[in-house]
Structure 1
Amino acid sequence: MAIAVLPLTMLSSCDHSYLDELDNIQDYTYSPVVAFPLVNASISLDDLIDVGDFGEIDLDEENMVTMVYKGQLVSIPASNIFSVTDQSQVITYDNIVPAGSEGMTLPPKVFLITFDNNEILTYISFLEGFFRVSAQASQLAQDGYHLEATFRILNSYDNQGLPVNGTVSLGNPAEVDLTGSRIEFENLANFFLVEYQLFISGNGTPDNAPYTIAFSQEMTGLEYDLIKGYFDQISFPVGNTSIALSLFKNAAFGSMLFENPTIEFTIENSFGAEIDLFVEEFYAATIHEEIIPVTGPGVEEPWRIDASPTHQTPQLTTFKLLDNTNTNLAYVTEKSPKKFHYEASGLLNPDGYDQPTNWIKHDSHLTVDVEVKLPLWGMINFFELQDTTEISVNDLPDELEWAELRMNFSNGFPLNVELDLILLDENNNAIDTLFAGQDNLLDAASVNPATSISEEPRISSRIERLDDTKIENLRKATNLLIQARLNSYDNQNGTTVKILDTYRIGIDLGIRGQVKYVVEF
């Protein structure tokens, strides 16, 4: 603004008539053209796409973007699938004569462990549990004899490497803590042998020999660490997971056709047994609340998961891949899925009994890591995104005579963009539209058909005149609803495009207008 400097002539202090001339100066109207920047940004794919809590972006050697979404299933542990219940049985020895029985070792007798199915154990080590023994010989006691017996479990080892053993007498049962102990079983028949040595003292009055001695034996509170043998065919739940796809989070319409969508499964097996993994439920839920099953030979046949070789190397990894060749994944992903849901179960020893080479630890389990991979390579047809962002243009002068929205774009993406910008009030009610239905507001960058890659960004500009009503509504607006319709370059001719991490959209957005200032004199 020019500033006029008016030199004043020094006049007589008594003559102020020159001041009267100031009243005759006309008011001055000043109408400059001013600009108000709104947006100056370079937008990458990271800015356009919400990766989500369980997603990430992978890049290949071309910098092509693949959206990766992850989920995980972890089965219940083996201790909840296979357990050893409390066991008890009574063994008896007849024709015991006190005379000469001091330190007599009795023939070992069988302790048989029973199961509901066809399990065959060869080895068990214990996290916890007890072996309890009580002795009964009522006639022997009535005749005045005292009985004490030591016992040991053959082919067993406590946490010191000694046989599991204890001492029992009439009226004083024995309780042996099995924590850290292990027992090796005989003849693949789920039993072990217990050996007793008798010590009988006192003089029987009368002496009613021979006597019968019984030993009640119990195994209780059993929790195993490691079991070897054969565990029959046991079904168990592996679990379920839902994987949200944030790529379609703000989608409202249209479709994306992917060249090579995949779902990868990484399965870790810490059971020492083969497992068949069955897909119980597998579907996609679309943005339109449609449920689409994932079908095909890739999911309809069980997956064979090999056994881990030894409990010293308890993890064996198996990979399974679902793609367009063995599922309907291309069709499913075209429908804009907002999530995949997956549920599975397992079957131990799917081929039945072969030989007792299974093993399980108490914490053996299946872990299934799921990765949905959507390479951004394909075609986009009328794919509609919408989002809401806050705006504030309270700095617009009240004296605007006219205004226009000026837009400069640089589009490095192979996407044509039609754009609606809708002004919303504080209650998210639409109060006006800045512009709508603009054909290809951002023209797609051209694509090399041989590589599907954009080579040079497309530059474009646009000016939209804002009338008084729009200007007033801009001042009232608190939010801006952005609706974008995307079409990939030359999709009507089947041209596929790749989205690279290096692509950018440059946006220079501002308001230009003329302000009327009046200087009054």
Structure 2
Amino acid sequence: MKKILFGAGALFLCLAFILASCLEEIDRIDKIEDPSFAPSIDFPLVNSDFSMEEFLTEGESKARIVDQQGLLVLIYDDTVTTPSAAGFFSLPDQQSPVLSITGPEVSFPSPGASVTVTKNLTFAFTPANSEALDSVVIKAGQMLFQMSSTFPANISLDVNITSLKFQGTAFQRNFTFTGAGSQNPSFNLQGSSFDLTRNGTTTNTVSLSIKATITDTGQPINNTHRLDFSFGLDNLGFRAIYGDLGSSSTQLTADSLNVDIFNNTLTSGTFELLDPLIRLTMQNSFGVPLGFDIRNIAVWRGNTSTALSGAAVNAPNNPYRVSAPSYSQIGQAVTSEININASNSNLSQLISSFPQYLGYQFDLALNPAPVTSKHFVLDDSKVVVAVHLELPMHGKVSALSISKRFDFSGLGIDDVEQSKIKVKTSNESPLDANVQIFFLDNNGQVLDSLFAERSFLKGATVGPDGFTTGAEQVIKEVTVTQAKIDRIEQAEFLVMTAVMFTSNNGTVPVKFSTADKLKVSVGVNTRIQY
């Protein structure tokens, strides 16, 4: 301010010089003695525009401001994601029974002849949670063979696991034994698949056969000789599983949105928003019907919470049924949507309580009925829940009291006879306001106020559609004496308070536009002795 005064003083000196030059032309100038001037000069302090967008994003919230047909709307978005299907389903290690060929089953018709013995086996593939599996596409895992022979003969062993396929072809391998011995080969199962239906007649069933061609080497075979075959499936990971996957449930991690648009400056009053909306959008790539339970939605202010209630969160609507992709949509996600508004809940009441946070937690049930049918999941199947909050600025304000404190370093006005602070406002918003500014010392004690009484700031006229028409202008002048300036100059803080109303003392709903602005010009008019 002192720099402004210095500049203004220089300007005044220039004007005085021009005036003095003119006075030289006046006759009898020597008659003028001790000229004294006390010009009145205006010094601008503030000249700025304040929009509703700036006001509503002063808090810590991460709201986006959008324009919906002229209406100002605050948008908040968050996502909550379930674990992938690999967190719901697993494939335990499997072990086949032992297939054995014993000495009494081998009889050579002549020396050096061969005998072929075939054995078939089916065994149960044991799932983790009693699922009835049709097929499994393997992403990782090992097949470990356990083979041993005590026959004193040569053996060609063909292994055919008809349930296991690589690129559509059943698994088949040949192993040879020259006399007694054991073998433990392993095979990487990545990219393979298990058909567990036994040609569509059952589930959870592995089918295999072995065919041993045993050739006489001249050594006698007795009843204690045997060939044993088995295999294990270890460290299985699936790419996809198909079948009746049973029922399971999980609780999603609780989360929240910061919706504090007032940045803790609100002290009292009501701000009723008429059309708030929560939209929950579920993207489901599980090939399983889902039950979506809104376990809790609540707003928080400090340590106090208020829960959402109403038809939207009660039976029979909640839990909700979430659609699932069909077999023709494998790898895709299907969208379901839930809208929560003032007609099916107390959301308007919650949002109008000036919350700082909106918290939420959801439960998810897979195949909640349960329905016995064919489903599927991929290893990366999941549910993504998009939480979308809309706060259209359409409502009523009554005695809404807001207070904000700023650091203050003084007006910078020294040794003046008399000054006036001029405040000119042009208000395009639908808010009437009573405004006061207090000056506080370092201990928070009020030293003085700007206005003797609260200054009235008139809101713009509201049309039938709820939007304002034009702007309302108010000019206020406050005489500031030297004594008042001396008190103000001691202040360390400035506190601005406003008590606001919409039309008719907050009884008529109005709509705030993105174009609403408050134009403020503040200046000091002072007389300087020259």
2:263 aligns to what? 249
Q: CA deviation at 1:182?
A: 1.2
Q: Give the letter for the 2:106 counterpart.
A: V
Distance 1:82 1:464, change over 3 A: same
Q: Give the letter for the 1:131 counterpart.
A: M
TM-score between both structures, scaled by the size of structure 2: 0.84
1:194 aligns to what? 208
1:11 aligns to what? none
Quick one: which of 66, 69, 73 aligns to 1:66? 73
Native 8 Å contact 2:436 2:454 kept in 1: no
Secondary structure of 1:398's counterpart equals coil
Q: CA deviation at 1:479?
A: 4.9
1:14 aligns to what? none
Native 8 Å contact 2:108 2:216 kept in 1: no
Give the Cα separation in 1 of the matches to 2:519 and 2:390: 28
1:364 aligns to what? 381
Secondary structure of 1:337's counterpart equals coil
2:29 aligns to what? none
Give the Cα separation in 2 of the matches to 1:98 and 1:513: 127
Native 8 Å contact 1:284 1:338 kept in 2: yes
1:511 aligns to what? 524
Q: What whole-Å deviation, never above 9, does each CA across 1:477-512 have from its counterpart, x for those lacking one? A: 5653332222111145x3110111121111111122
Q: CA deviation at 1:215?
A: 2.2
Q: Is 1:316 equivalent to 2:334 in the alignment?
A: yes
Native 8 Å contact 2:396 2:508 kept in 1: yes
Distance 1:295 1:440, change over 3 A: farther
Q: Give the letter for the 1:400 counterpart.
A: V
2:394 aligns to what? 377
Secondary structure of 1:154's counterpart equals strand
Q: How does 1:76-475 map to 2 (within 5 A)?
A: 76-95=83-102, 96-97=105-106, 99=108, 104=116, 106-137=118-149, 140-141=150-151, 144-145=152-153, 147=155, 149-158=157-166, 160-167=167-174, 170-186=181-197, 187-201=201-215, 203=217, 205-209=219-223, 211-250=225-264, 251-286=266-301, 289-300=303-314, 301-310=318-327, 311-355=329-373, 357-390=374-407, 392-393=409-410, 396-423=412-439, 429=444, 432-435=447-450, 438-439=453-454, 441-448=456-463, 450-472=464-486, 474-475=488-489
Q: CA deviation at 1:334?
A: 2.2
Distance 1:323 1:199, change over 3 A: same
Give the Cα separation in 1 of the matches to 2:356 and 2:452: 27
Q: Give the letter for the 1:412 counterpart.
A: E
Q: What whole-Å deviation, never above 9, does each CA across 1:155-186 have from its counterpart, x for those lacking one? A: 4332x443334455643212111111111112
Give the Cα separation in 1 of the matches to 2:117 and 2:270: 83
Give the Cα separation in 2 of the matches to 1:26 and 1:484: 52
Give the Cα separation in 2 of the matches to 1:146 and 1:478: 102
Native 8 Å contact 1:68 1:371 kept in 2: yes
Give the Cα separation in 1 of the matches to 2:121 and 2:448: 92
Q: Is 1:55 equivalent to 2:63 in the alignment?
A: yes
2:500 aligns to what? 486
2:7 aligns to what? none
Secondary structure of 1:331's counterpart equals helix
Native 8 Å contact 2:106 2:115 kept in 1: no
1:20 aligns to what? none
Distance 1:213 1:34, change over 3 A: same
Give the Cα separation in 2 of the matches to 1:437 and 1:340: 41
Deviates more, 1:453-462 or 1:475-484: 475-484
Give the Cα separation in 1 of the matches to 2:147 and 2:50: 84
Give the Cα separation in 2 of the matches to 1:197 and 1:404: 110
Secondary structure of 1:239's counterpart equals coil
Give the Cα separation in 2 of the matches to 1:412 and 1:177: 73
Native 8 Å contact 2:260 2:354 kept in 1: no
Stretches of structure 1 that go unaligned for 5 or more consecutive residues are 7-24
2:6 aligns to what? none
Q: Give the letter for the 2:388 counterpart.
A: E
Give the Cα separation in 1 of the matches to 2:204 and 2:44: 83
Give the Cα separation in 1 of the matches to 2:489 and 2:502: 35
Native 8 Å contact 1:412 1:457 kept in 2: yes
Give the Cα separation in 1 of the matches to 2:21 and 2:502: 62
Distance 1:505 1:201, change over 3 A: same
Q: CA deviation at 1:246?
A: 3.1
Distance 1:312 1:468, change over 3 A: same
2:508 aligns to what? 495
Q: CA deviation at 1:466?
A: 2.5
Deviates more, 1:45-54 or 1:368-377: 45-54
Q: Give the letter for the 2:512 counterpart.
A: I
Give the Cα separation in 1 of the matches to 2:96 and 2:231: 6
Distance 1:319 1:220, change over 3 A: same
TM-score between both structures, scaled by the size of structure 1: 0.85
Q: CA deviation at 1:272?
A: 0.2
Give the Cα separation in 2 of the matches to 1:93 and 1:478: 95
Native 8 Å contact 1:91 1:109 kept in 2: no
RMSD: 3.0
Distance 1:154 1:105, change over 3 A: farther
The alignment covers a number of residue pairs equal to 490
Native 8 Å contact 1:428 1:479 kept in 2: no
